[in-house]
A and B are shown apart, each in its own frame.
Chain A
């Protein structure tokens, strides 16, 4: 800069000003600095979905340190918990002759059946003990109705019953939802898609998620999310 003549310096300064008001152009190079209307949604970072849990997601534990690193960059954080009753309708054990990962037809559509998991008040349903997000503002539970599953943090599997999360976020003026957690192809994807449908901007931070990938579900989830305009970013895109 010291070698620039004054005229060149002014030209450079003007260009810098233009850059400052042109975030779209700059966004490829500039990291996202979470603002007051951004919220980190930590989906189902629970023991049941970690190795050793009842419905382990491969490498599910790998995302916990990434989430812990991301969370302090966000002033606003919400946490979800999958929170089933005993003998929940989504459990294979509740349907005679059925095994986990088979499907059944329920009044609201096709339901994948799972091992018994994340039962209310059990250690299996607790948040991962390494998760460190003291500033989280709510812990919202889902799937607590005996006869209705809910992958989505916004809308239950009957596609009618709202969880209350939309109303909560809107009342607080939160507009952009950054989704992390487990599992990419189920609760993360359904939550991100429903966030978008509810009028929020939604992005998934991919390296802070892991998928179950049953029958090609991971590829399909990403195709659906991309098709719906959900952002696909990496944790390196967030300014920490």
Chain B
């Protein structure tokens, strides 16, 4: 990038999405190369005074699990009261090692760990708004009260929890940027390209970690 690197300030917050064992190689819903984001996130985090962390945090038997629907397989889609739901392998069950943050994630100055998807009947890719598109997670209220205005997203997966979070941040009135090389995608049925098209159209900035002054 030709422009000067971004120096994160008092109104900027790094949002680390779902850097959990469940999404790492060897986890229950592995994102290809998911572990590669960890050192990049660690390096970036030191440049941000304000950091928050999200965790996908499902009940056993969660409605988003294929195993909760007879005859369904992971990556099938079903219709739920709130719309179509992709079905996943059982993953990130509350209090399990699979749901723990990756052990090498080093962000001791994170000020908040916020969990999502904890309602048995409602999924939540987004850190802001659950999949019923009506239940708010509380994150907008938290960020606004703290005067944080620009959210920089990193983590997993680009085309689901990162994209939905970035889009909802934008809708909630925040500036939103995704630092691409600090994310990895699942990319099922073209989901990665669609997520980027949606984000670009919505005005979510697409950055790389070299755009941030470290």
CB-defined contacts of A135 to chain B, threshold 8 Å: 94, 118
Cβ of B108 and Cβ of A120 under 8 Å apart?
yes
Cβ of B113 and Cβ of A139 under 8 Å apart?
yes
CB-defined contacts of A162 to chain B, threshold 8 Å: 145-146
Given contacts A137-B118, A138-B114, A141-B110, contact A172 B137 (CB under 8 A): yes
Q: Tell me how far the C-beta of B159 lies from the nearest C-beta in chain A, rounded to whole angstroms.
A: 25
Residue B141, interface by CB 8 Å? yes
**Interface residues on chain A, number (Cβ under 8 Å):** 24
Q: Tell me how far the C-beta of B165 lies from the nearest C-beta in chain A, rounded to whole angstroms.
A: 16
8 Å CB contact of B138 from A132, A139, A163, A172: A172
- Mask for A155-190, Cβ within 8 A of B = 1, else 0? 000000011111111111000000000000000000
Given contacts A120-B109, A171-B136, A172-B138, contact A164 B143 (CB under 8 A): yes
Given contacts A172-B136, A172-B137, contact A141 B111 (CB under 8 A): yes
Residue B95, interface by CB 8 Å? yes
CB-defined contacts of A215 to chain B, threshold 8 Å: none
Docked complex: A114-166 residues within 8 A CB-CB of B: 120-121, 132, 134-141, 144, 162-166
**Interface residues on chain B, number (Cβ under 8 Å):** 24
Given contacts A164-B142, A168-B139, A171-B138, contact A140 B118 (CB under 8 A): no
Shortest Cβ distance from A121 into B: residue: B108
Residue B43, interface by CB 8 Å? no
Cβ of A136 and Cβ of B115 under 8 Å apart?
yes
Q: Tell me how far the C-beta of B68 lies from the nearest C-beta in chain A, rounded to whole angstroms.
A: 18
Cβ of A144 and Cβ of B111 under 8 Å apart?
yes
Residue B140, interface by CB 8 Å? yes
Given contacts A121-B108, A138-B138, A172-B136, contact A167 B114 (CB under 8 A): no
CB-defined contacts of B139 to chain A, threshold 8 Å: 168
8 Å CB contact of A167 from B57, B113, B115, B145: B145
**Taking each of B94, B138, B141, which has the highest tally of chain A beta carbons within 10 Å of its own beta carbon?**
B138
Q: Could you tell me the distance between the alpha carbons of A132 and B139 in the complex, rounded to whole angstroms?
A: 24
Cβ of B141 and Cβ of A140 under 8 Å apart?
no
Cβ of B138 and Cβ of A140 under 8 Å apart?
no
Docked complex: B97-149 residues within 8 A CB-CB of A: 106, 108-115, 118, 136-146
Given contacts A121-B108, A138-B113, contact A170 B141 (CB under 8 A): yes
Cβ of A167 and Cβ of B95 under 8 Å apart?
no
Q: Which 3 A-B pairs have the closest CB atoms?
A: A121-B108, A134-B95, A167-B141
20 extra A-B contacts, CB within 8 A, seeds A137-B118, A167-B143, A170-B141: A120-B109, A135-B118, A136-B115, A137-B57, A138-B112, A138-B114, A138-B138, A139-B113, A140-B111, A140-B113, A162-B146, A164-B143, A164-B145, A165-B142, A167-B145, A168-B141, A171-B136, A171-B138, A172-B136, A172-B141
Which residues of A are at the interface with B, using a C-beta cutoff of 8 A? 83, 120-121, 132, 134-141, 144, 162-172
Can you report 9 residue pairs joining A to B where beta carbons are below 8 Å apart? Answer: A134-B94, A135-B118, A138-B112, A138-B115, A141-B111, A164-B141, A164-B146, A168-B139, A171-B142
